[in-house]
Structure 1
Amino acid sequence: MSFFNSRDLSDITTNMMADCASMESMLSSTISTIDCQCDLCYSTCVCLAFFDWRMALALFATMPITFLIIWAGRNLQIRMFDRQVGIKLEASSQIQEYLRVSRSSSPAG
């Protein structure tokens, strides 16, 4: 409880909503797309092997390069996601502060 009491409500809410949105996006679109693309590439290699083994080998040789590019891009994606979450937290905190100030300065009626 001390963690929740020490944090601002907007920080906790924004973090939870951002985590849920990113997990939903990843599970619904990203993972299934990557899985389908890998299956498509492997099935294309198998089909090409029936026609010309050199073409299948050339296609299969690009797979490790593709995985290296995806792995390198992951680090950039993590940095950009952390930056985006920080900006969202700052904006949410400023909105909460504005609402507190506007409520305290408005005449009671």
Structure 2
Amino acid sequence: MKLLFICSRNKWRSLTAEKVFERYNGYDVRSAGTEEGARIKVTEGLIGWSDLIFAMEKKHVRRLKNKFSYNLMNKRVICLDIPDDYRFMDEELIEILKSRVSEYIEVPELSL
């Protein structure tokens, strides 16, 4: 299954999610940002590639729908409601990500 994580700049939240979930077998994971200055900017190609899209905030879902509405027609976009309050690989962020994402995919226990 191909997972795409989206935040604003692809530096903290979505990049953390990519690093955490790429450790699990059975998942191909990428991340991107919605803003111009994003480390990796979300594209039609990334959306087409993904099976499941996780956005950190409602504004990210809105931005995706505004720019890529056609590409999202058969895609599932899930808002995780994780505010921009965390740094890269923040322990609390990792726990929140694992908890919220596990509602949609199988997340086996893995020691960090």
> Scaled by the length of structure 2, what TM-score is found?
0.21
Name the one with the larger helix percent: 1
Bigger relative contact order, structure 1 or 2 (CA pairs below 8 A, ≥6 apart): 1
Which protein has the bigger strand share?
Answer: 2
* Structure index of larger Rg: 1
